[in-house]
Amino acid sequence: MSSGVLNALELCLNEISDNILVHSTRCEENSPSGLVMTQYHKSTGRIAISVYDQGIGIPASLKKGGIAFENTKDAILLSMQAGVTDGKGAGNGLWLLKSIIEQGRGSLEITSDGVRYSLIHREDYSSRETFSKSLSLIGGTTLVDFQLDVSQPIELDKVLGPNGFIDLWMEEREEDWDGTIVRLNVAKEADGLGSRIDGSSFRNLVLNVMSSAQTVILDFSSVSIVSLSFADEAIGKLIDTIGFGSFLERIKIEQANETCLTIIQTIISQHPSGQES
């Protein structure tokens, strides 16, 4: 996954989910509800996310904020402008989503009240925006469907401004002022230390951190023992993915007791070359 993609996806999901919670209720006593579906297409390297809510629809939401428009098409276009809101939120959700899609050269569809907006970026770097009729959804509901290419880097500072995004999760774990060194406490960050599933999840975490940090310290303090299966998935397959030289250069093992160190060294000896073989 390229730099910035994970944070961009988190922002998009948070904003669109917030739209459901804040804007979609039909009346104040009703609980907001919606559906989210996420799928990773390995063959194309694209993440697809669909968010559907059974609310009041984009036109009705904007009308509640006193915003004038001629038709549903205009309402959808207005909803993608920064600061346009029904009065309950800041009005940045769909604007942020579209801005990220444009930079990541993805695709976006927004369907509400029988009208579908579509934005597609082609391989030749051209793009196309269209509107069409859609009668498949219940009136008043909204469907947001978008895809991102995980190999396309996304620079959030270009979307939000240089001071617009701070990754608090990373900031809490940074060892230096510019975030090039990040410390991960294995006991706290891993879901468990005994299975391959736990090891695979932790390896993905390390790889995501490596997209932003140059050096990752794996802090084994408070860890009495890890299983060989966990170590093989977390350490061994990490070497297979990034290469042995890159592992030695960018991954540091600290505070491991003698037992853990023996297990880790055993796994490392079984993966001597990784991608460099």
Cα dihedral value 51, 81, 14, 17, nearest 10: -40
CB 221, CB 185: distance < 8 Å: yes
The DSSP output letter for 251 is E
* Sign of the torsion formed by the C-alpha atoms of 64, 65, 70 and 75: negative
Query: Mapping DSSP to helix (H, G, I), strand (E, B) and coil, where does residue 225 land?
Result: coil
Distance CA 270, CA 251 (A): 17
CB 149, CB 104: distance < 8 Å: yes
Q: What are phi and psi of 264, to 5 degrees?
A: -65, -45
Planar angle of CA 188, 250, 174, nearest 5 degrees: 50
Q: H-helix or E-strand containing 61? A: helix 58-64
The DSSP output letter for 122 is -
Distance CA 211, CA 208 (A): 5
Q: Which domains does the chain have, with CATH numbers?
A: 5-160 (3.30.565), 168-276 (3.30.750)
List pLDDT tens digits, range 185-235. 999 999 999 999 999 999 999 998 888 889 999 999 999 999 999 999 999
Residues paired with residue 216 on neighbouring β-strands, in sequence order: 182, 251
List pLDDT tens digits, range 245-254. 999 999 999 9
| DSSP string of 172-202, one letter each residue | HHBSSTTSSEEEEEHHHHSS-SSSHHHHHHH
pTM above 0.75, yes or no: no
The DSSP output letter for 43 is T
List pLDDT tens digits, range 72-130. 899 899 888 876 655 454 456 788 889 889 888 899 999 988 899 999 987 777 788 89
Lowest mean pLDDT among 33-47, 134-148, 249-263: 134-148
